[in-house]
Chains A and B, each alone.
Chain A
Amino acid sequence: MSIESFLQTLVFGIFVGGIYGIAAMGLALVFGVLKIMNIAHGELLMLGGYVSFWLFTTWGMDPFVSILITIPALFLIGLLLDRVVYRHVVTLQGEEKIKNSMLVSFGLTLVIQNLAQWGFTADERAIQVAYTGTGLSLAGITLPYTRLGSFAVAIVVTLLLHVFLRRTYYGKAILATAEDWESAELVGINIRRVYMMTFALGASLAAIAGTFVTITYGISPSIGIIWTLKALVVVVLAGTGSIVGAFPAGILLGIVEAVSGAFIGSTYREVIGLVIFVLVLILRPQGLFARK
């Protein structure tokens, strides 16, 4: 394999890793703060993708622009889901809470996936913008605008999230709730409201990732579970307690997949992430980047 094609593969791995990272941050946020495992996360990603697809086909809106609409749209859906469904689960404790949240979100997966299938048919859809297929050429490597743009936006979103969580009052309240919800209540934080907002924020992040997926690959109703699992792998790699840390973990996964795909063959590219996932779970459950 030539240096060029290796670098090309590497760059593509980084780009897709950016999408992994955004998807994973949404899941990590929900898991870290609400302490629930939302299996329907991938479905929210899929919905976000469909919103951008619909905006593009109906009004010709460029997907990078329509993100500004997709975000609040999925934010609202997230609020709704919290109010109707997840609200009843967050009152439980510990393992029962996680178990029930998995079950409930599993039910939601069925509902959302099949509603999407009914609304959009099972066919795969894609977005073809004017610049699809074109890209930047740098030292013999192609950087397609769609992927480059997605990655750039992903970095911006990650930075914004970091600043929001670590530098604003409300963001710190969210982190405090994640760390110790009782203490958070004792300083006057309305944790029910924090749960609701955080869940909605997680949905928004899923939506952003969904837009990237639609631009880069295409979308169909069945991609939900795949992306939930992908996000889960990254979250486990990054370690519980890492929220923004899920982004570099996602890039790492993208790189590992790309590189191993180059050397072991593309048939095992999908598997390598899962194998690492299971190994990390068993051998180092606190994740690769854990502080403890």
Chain B
Amino acid sequence: MTKFLDIQNINAAYGDIQTLWDVSLHVSEGEIVGLIGPNGAGKTTLMRLIAGLHKPTSGFVQLADTPLHTLPAYEIVEHGVILVPEGRRLFGGMTVLENLELGAYSSRAREERFKTMKRVFELFPILSERQKQHANTMSGGQQQMLAIGRGIMGLPRLLMLDEPSLGLAPLIVENIFEILKLMNDQGVTIFLVEQNARKALELADRAYILEQGRVVGTGLGRELLHNDEVRQAYLGFAPAAGK
């Protein structure tokens, strides 16, 4: 498969402190790719960089031959790369309906927004029930669904999610991951950052491991699930006796 999202030799820094070192990875169309790693590894930095909120010091980000790293964030959205950011970052003072509406602000998604909203309501019925509710009065799980819904409103060709399971009850996480699978079946390419390595690896076709700003490993989802080092580092397994 051709590389849909292609990231090559990305270096990034906050002021004088380098955060990403020579990061290269790719996502092919129709895949679900995961990015796991410890806290502070740079996963969120990378996501924000791809989305255009942060610029690399060197390297490039490409979406099917279109360079993204030189574009401002709103233009990257026009190309169909949508980030559901860490911590949801909803427009709290606005209603569910308004948040969703704004999700379709780009010229690409704008015309279809009422149609898209129906789809979002099918995926997340609870949002339909609470259309007029203010976003900041909703529970964590509902907010995450709204955040994902807002992302869908932008008609993503590539949907990126940063820690969607953060702070949510296991049942809700199940629910959300089921919906992600469903969306992928319907053709949405997904790039997923997760602290919850197990869930990420169960869902993903492939995954990368980021540690201290560097890519230290990659492989198929189910392979990494059964890899000893990964199991010890990220899946909570104790080292086998005698090793």
Contact = CB atoms under 8 A, between A and B. Distances in A.
A186 to B, nearest CB: 5
A169 interface: yes
Given A187-B77, A187-B150, A188-B77, A182 B85 contact: yes
Interface centre among A172, A184, A185, A192 (most CB of B within 10 A): A185
A193 to B, nearest CB: 9
A182 B47 CA distance: 13
Contacts of B109: 188
A188 B85 contact: no
Interface stretch (B92-100, B172-180, B200-208, B228-236): B92-100
B82 interface: yes
B102 A176 contact: yes
Contact of A180 (B82, B91, B98): B91
Interface in B65-117: 72-74, 77-78, 82-83, 85, 89-94, 98, 101-109
Contact size range, B? 20 to 34
A188 B53 contact: no
B12 to A, nearest CB: 16
A186 B93 contact: no
Interface residues of A, number: 19
A132 interface: no
A225 B154 CA distance: 45
A172 B98 contact: yes
B52 interface: yes
Interface in A174-190: 175-176, 179-180, 182-190
Given A175-B94, A188-B109, A191-B74, A182 B53 contact: yes
Interface in B46-76: 51-53, 72-74
A185 B52 contact: yes
Interface centre among A179, A182, A186, A189 (most CB of B within 10 A): A186
Interface centre among B52, B53, B74, B103 (most CB of A within 10 A): B74
B3 to A, nearest CB: 23
A18 to B, nearest CB: 26
Contacts of A175: 91, 93-94
Interface in B119-158: 150, 153-154
A179 B93 contact: yes
A173 interface: yes
B98 A186 contact: no
Contact of B78 (A183, A188, A192): A188
A189 B110 CA distance: 12
A179 B150 contact: no
Given A173-B102, A187-B106, 13 more contacts: A169-B101, A180-B89, A182-B73, A183-B90, A183-B91, A185-B72, A186-B77, A187-B103, A187-B154, A188-B78, A189-B105, A190-B74, A192-B72
23 contacts: A169-B101, A173-B102, A175-B93, A175-B94, A176-B91, A176-B94, A179-B92, A179-B93, A180-B89, A182-B73, A183-B90, A183-B91, A185-B74, A186-B77, A186-B83, A186-B85, A187-B103, A187-B106, A187-B150, A187-B154, A188-B109, A190-B72, A190-B74
Interface of B: 51-53, 72-74, 77-78, 82-83, 85, 89-94, 98, 101-109, 150, 153-154
